[in-house]
């Protein structure tokens, strides 16, 4: 892992994400990019430098003051870094938040995004969603989402839910990397629901084959019964007091996403524990 991106809006959730990202950068030797994006709806005439490509006036003064305040907040956040060996770059941009994050991931070859989230529920979740949700869905690098109340990031126990049918090594590579980084124990878990029912014998055999295929170590095999997969993951994570949940997502968009939904996005919205999502590749 060489580059970590931390988008921030200076909220408590974003500060917690920054603290965790600096810890990960310290452990891995990665460089950290702290990014704030100012959205100016209907006002495309400002540059992130504070320059105004229009006629000036009140809007220009407002933007200059906003950028000054934003840079002050960025400096305070950077100064809160507890690790002297972590190299931190910062950037303030004026753009659409989601598209800017996606652009940075591609152009700067980001290896990990760490984002704070408040979660969502009800109509807000169905109709609006969040920038975090969009990044989880479409980012082609792992995305670690944390809430402000998720506590210290001391990863000793990782939960990895899967159907263990997918032949995609990338999520497993991510799992093994984080397991090694923290010397953590992994609970592999298959959530047995009425719609995905399998016998314990079949499920265990599939999981054992998965372990052999990817040469996993320091793990336990678990089958957990529940009515809904998301509830089962959350319930099992509570049982083992997991410090981190790592899961794969197909990253569906458009009509396909509306029809199938995304367990990973639901988990990001509803789980209080840190969630690390990564796309099938």
Question: Could you read off the pLDDT of 24-47 as tens digits, one per residue?
Answer: 999 999 999 999 998 876 544 544
**pLDDT at residue number 134:** 82
The residues of the chain scoring below 50 in pLDDT are 43-44, 46-53, 122-129, 253-261
Query: Cα 8 vs. chain centroid, distance in angstroms?
Result: 13
CATH code at 157-279: 3.40.50.620
**pLDDT at residue number 124:** 41
3-state secondary structure of 197: coil
Give the bridge partners for 93, in sequence order. Answer: 37
Residue-wise DSSP of 22-81? HHHHHHHT-EEEEEEEE--TT-TTB-TTS-BSS--SHHHHHHHHHHHHHHHHHHHHHHT-
Nearest to 234 by CA among 251, 221, 247: 247
Query: Could you say which architecture CATH assigns to the domain 3-116?
Result: 3-Layer(aba) Sandwich (3.40)
| Crossing angle (nearest 10°) for helices 263-270 and 131-138 | 150
**pLDDT at residue number 119:** 63
Task: Kindly give, in sequence order, each residue whose CB lies less than 8 Å from that of residue 17, ignoring residues fewer than 6 positions away.
Answer: 6, 8, 114, 115, 116, 144, 146
Q: What is the pTM of this model?
A: 0.86
Where are the CATH 3.40.50.620 domain residues in the chain? 3-116, 157-279
**pLDDT at residue number 122:** 42
Question: Could you read off the pLDDT of 43-102 as tens digits, one per residue?
Answer: 445 444 444 445 556 677 777 888 889 999 999 999 999 999 999 999 998 888 888 999
**pLDDT at residue number 41:** 61
**pLDDT at residue number 256:** 40
């Amino acid at each position: 892992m060489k580059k970590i991106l931390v988008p921030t809006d200076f909220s408590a959730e974003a500060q917690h994400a920054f603290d965790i990202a600096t810890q990960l950068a310290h452990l891995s030797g990665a460089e950290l990019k702290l990014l704030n994006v100012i959205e100016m709806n209907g006002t495309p005439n400002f540059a992130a430098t504070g320059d105004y490509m229009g006629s000036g006036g009140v809007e220009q003064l407002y933007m200059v003051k906003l950028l000054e305040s934003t840079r002050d907040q960025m400096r305070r956040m950077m100064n809160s870094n507890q690790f002297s060996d972590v190299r931190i770059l910062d950037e303030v941009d004026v753009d659409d938040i989601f598209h800017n994050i996606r652009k940075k991931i591609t152009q700067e070859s980001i290896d990990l995004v760490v984002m704070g989230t408040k979660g969502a529920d009800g109509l807000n979740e169905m109709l609006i969603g969040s920038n975090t949700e969009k990044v989880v869905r479409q980012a082609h690098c792992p995305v670690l989402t944390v809430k402000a109340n998720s506590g210290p990031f001391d990863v000793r126990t990782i939960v990895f839910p899967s159907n263990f049918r997918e032949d995609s090594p990338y999520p497993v590579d991510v799992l093994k990397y984080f397991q090694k980084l923290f010397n953590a124990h992994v609970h592999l878990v298959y959530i047995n629901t009425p719609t995905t029912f399998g016998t314990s014998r079949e499920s265990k055999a599939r999981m054992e084959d998965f372990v052999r295929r990817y040469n996993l170590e320091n793990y336990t095999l678990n089958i957990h019964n529940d009515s809904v997969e998301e509830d089962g993951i959350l319930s099992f994570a509570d049982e083992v007091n997991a410090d981190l949940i790592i899961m794969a997502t197909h990253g569906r968009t458009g009509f396909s996403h509306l029809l199938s939904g995304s367990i990973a996005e639901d988990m990001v919205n509803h789980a209080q524990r840190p969630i690390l999502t990564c796309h099938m590749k």
